[in-house]
Structure 1
Amino acid sequence: MQVNWKGVFPAVTTKLKQDGSLDRDAIVSGLNRLIDNGVGGVVMMGMVGENAQLTPDEKRTVLKIAVETVKGRVPVISGLAELNTANAVQFAKDAEAIGVQGLMVFPGLTYRSDDRETVEYYRSIARSTKLGLMIYNNPRGYGVDMRPDLLAQLADEANVVAIKEETYDTTRVTDLYARFGERFVVFCGVDDLIVESVALGVTGWVSGMANAMPKESVDLLNYAVNGEYGKARALYRALIDLFHLDTHVKLVQYIKLAENITAGYPEYVKAPRLMLEGEERQRTIAIVEKAIANVRALSQ
């Protein structure tokens, strides 16, 4: 499948049983629900998929489940988050053999690489696979910023095709388009910057809260891309408190709880994460329930 790098690509939650093992039935059901609600692709094992907490076997099992379930209806993108280049290259090869269509590549975990090391890391992965690569650029979370001058050094790697822009600075979107034109596809990677990013030219969105509200997220992106900004602003305002949760260090717990409320899926997480409790849990539930009520009110 040729990846059409546009639309809502949920960073799909990896659904778990209480003992921490993979919940295959829930993973399958969740993927079908997302596709039925019109997403453009699925990203397995991004941050929301708890990539770094899964064993190597679990990661590959998640990809096999996804490929078998999706059956080519939308592109399957795999997060790639490894500690070193050798493991990253091997994972890229394994993911391609399993049958995914693209990779969303984190910088090397735990070590903050300098500019030269960062470029070489991405170049090594690009040359190990035929899959299209989306660079995951989240300097706030991972300490490495794939600035335009560094991205320029990868412009000759044909399969480096997209960048998930998560600097929390929308001027970066314009800087990228001004420098590279259409060479790289720019995805919004922050839920509460999606309408602003579309106004600057973005047509793709890697979203966390789309797991909980897939139809509404697809509608929001479509409204904005089609220039229906009145509808987009109204829906965005209805969802904005929910989307703010995507920017917090506990986004995995928040999104899994939101998905549990809206679709009934398990909210279990991999330790050292723990499920929410007390005031924090009640506050999160209130935000989710408010978003549901706001959306319902818009349709009346």
Structure 2
Amino acid sequence: MVDFEWYRSFVAIYKHNSVSEAAKARIMTQPAMSQHLASLEAEVGEALFVRTSRKIIPTERGKQLYSQLAPLIESLEETTMGFKSASLPSLRTVRIGSAHEFYLEKIIPRLPQLKTCTISNFGTADQLLELLKEDKTDIIITSKKYVTPGIEYAKLYDEQFVVVAPARLEVLETDSLKRREQWLAAQKWISYGLELPIIRRFWREHFKKRPLIKPTHVIPNLHIILKAVEIGEGLSLMPTYLLEKSMSERTKVIYGDLTVKNELFFAYKMKHKHLPEIQELMTLIRESDL
């Protein structure tokens, strides 16, 4: 007889392409996870994955089984948690973590609609994840998705970044990617960090290489970066949501067909997933982008 937990473990392994990562996500030991898979494969009568040196790849039978099981298991888990939610403790205060800029543009306008008090924390994706792991925040908005036991992620949306320049800067008018790359590389740049976050991804996505540039200024605040661009200190990549309210006559978007996307996620403790306060906050933030 098939154990329901075998199915849950199978779905986790399928999603992570790894027995060890699936075990971490389900807060199980790796041997126990492997035993679940072996038992299910014995019941099915054939292999569900092909093992390689780095990961495991689903077989055709594995793909077929996943497509049948995944929606059923997700529905059952949602129903089960729905029953439990009534007995879950309510949060009188929601502890939120995000980047300063996102908080200012997307969360503050929604605070009047929240029915709870809030405590806010700001930092990088890594710093915010540590706060969540240490149970010092209830929910964070992050651009990085790590497999961490007891923590779940939900897609928020994709933020789009564009190249912003001082309004008076004379820009090379050309459709040639090579000439654009050469011109951009010769300009002054303002970066969020020394490792050129977003700028590096932009370069690789459009020019298929690492950017060989050294930023003139490193400023870990997008609002201040925009001010620096306004006074002519260089170019930078900015999220379009920030420009909608902050764009001035002293800046302009250049090479508008060259953009780069950055995924944003909600991250929260799995035990808090169905708390009304967490669901309300997630809904309000999503609505802010409509």
TM-score tier, shorter chain, comes to: under 0.3
Greater strand proportion: 2
TM-score (norm 1): 0.22
Greater helix proportion: 1
TM-score (norm 2): 0.23
Q: Which structure carries more relative contact order (alpha carbon 8 Å, separation 6+)?
A: 2
Return the index of the structure with the highest Cα Rg: 2
